[in-house]
Amino acid sequence: MAPGLFGYTVRRLLWAIPVLFVISVAVFYMLRLAPGDPVDAILQKNYQEEQAAALRKKYGYDQPIHIQYIKYMKNLAQGDLGISTRHRDFTASEVILPKIWVSTRIGFMALVITFAIGIPVGVYAAMARGTFLDPLTISSWLALDAVPAFVLIPVLQWLFGLKLGIVGLGYEGVWSSHMVLPVLILSLPGVAGVARLMRASVVGVLHEDYVRTARAKGLRERTVIITHITRNAMMPMVTVIGLSLPGITAGALFTEQLFGIPGIGQESLAAALAPDFDVILALVLFGSFLFVMANVLIDVLYSLIDPRIRVGAGRGG
């Protein structure tokens, strides 16, 4: 391990604690202070006041919020995320974990496809800079980005499902041909964003000395583009890929809803509408935790690549 890397990683991880603390306090207070009460949600509004009071006491909702928060955090430390009011007799973690797993696998496939298409498209557009092919490439992918999923889905379901009969539409597990459409719908709109960043990154290295040197050495253009330009332009993409990773566990609300996929996006909507307090809280905390961790990971990766960041000596460039 590089000198100082361990200490740097520990310092960054320690910084994550106050950030997560602030997020958890803010969300906890917001949910507890918002109109509506978990007990209302459990009892569905037809109840005796004594019954409600008994439940409030049982779950501790009668206590001041900071006491409730401390209790919640104590339980969280033991892996208890609370109870679901929407699915009676299930804990919040029993509700969300299987669904997160479904969404994560689908989201991961989509992410791989997005970058597998977006990176070459970005390189191509950058190399075609100055011709009409550059704006044409980027803007045609941007068109896909402009179509909301809930418009694209019924049209594609009709075309490929009903009219042509190529793909089935019901949910039959993650590894089935029925997932082809959902994965494509999740991946293709993101291509424009990746391509645009990759294009900017490639344009940034095009005029570097090592590119000129590589050409002067008489290397084939193919080699120059792949090993000298693309490789160096990939650096900023580390951040983009890293920051996209936590997002795949959040699921895709509209796609899951319209394809009947039992993922976490669908559950988020249902939980927010119910409202299912502990499930919402668990989802928000889980998402924030992953986001903060992804940020730490990126910083550490960068400091591996560029040790100056670690010691804070100048910003380079």
Partner 1 sequence: MAVAATADDLYAAGPIAAPRRFRMLRNLLRKKLAVLAIAYLLVFYSAGIFAPLVAPHDPNAQELTVDARRQGPSAEHLFGTDALGRDLFSRVIFAARTTILFTLVVIVTGGLVLGLGLGLLAGYRGGWVDTAIMRVGEVLGGVPTLILMLAITASFRGRINDLSFWLEDHTFLGSDAKTLVKFTIIVGATTPFAWIGSSRIVRGQALSIRESSFVTAAEAMGASTWRIVSRHILPGVMPLFIVGLSASMAGIAGSEVALSYLGLGIDPPGASFGNLISDAGFVRTFEQYPHLLLASSLPVILFFYAWNLLGDALVDLFEPRTHTQR
List the one residue out of 274, 36, 42, 65 whose CA is nearest residue 51: 42
Shortest separation between residue 21's beta carbon and partner 1, angstroms: 10
Using CB under 8 A, which residues numbered 105 to 144 contact partner 1?
107, 110-111, 114, 118, 135, 138-139, 142-143
The 38-67 site mask, x for binding partner 1 (CB under 8 A), equals: ------------------------------
Instruction: Among 2, 10, 13, 26, indicate the residue that binds partner 1 (CB under 8 A).
Output: 26
If DSSP codes are grouped into helix, strand and coil, which group holds residue 91? strand
Q: Which of 295, 298, 299, 303 binds partner 1 (CB under 8 A)?
A: 295
Exposure string for 170-206, b = 16+ CB within 10 A, e = fewer = ebeebeeebbebbbbbbbbbbbbbbbbbbbebbbebe
Question: In the beta sheet, which residues pair with residue 91?
Answer: 83
- Tell me: does residue 216 bind partner 1 (CB under 8 A): no
22, 67, 70, 133: which one contacts partner 1 (CB under 8 A)? Answer: 22
Q: Does 92 bind partner 1 (CB under 8 A)?
A: no
CB of 67 to partner 1, least distance (A): 22
- Residue reference for tokens 């980005």: 145
For residue 222, give every residue at least 6 positions away whose Cβ sits within 8 Å of its Cβ, in sequence order, or none. none
- Cα separation of 110 and 151, whole Å? 19
Alpha helices in 147-252 (DSSP H): 149-156, 180-205, 209-216, 221-223, 231-233, 235-248
Which of 13, 14, 34, 67 lies at the binding interface for partner 1 (CB under 8 A)? 34
Q: Which is nearer to partner 1, 203 or 304 (CB)?
A: 203
Is the separation of the CB atoms in 277 and 41 below 8 Å?
yes
Q: Which of 63, 68, 157, 232 binds partner 1 (CB under 8 A)?
A: 157
Shortest Å distance, C-beta 111 to partner 1? 7
Stretch that binds partner 1, among 19-27, 62-70, 84-92, 227-235 (CB under 8 A): 19-27
- Enter the tokens of residue 12: 């960054």
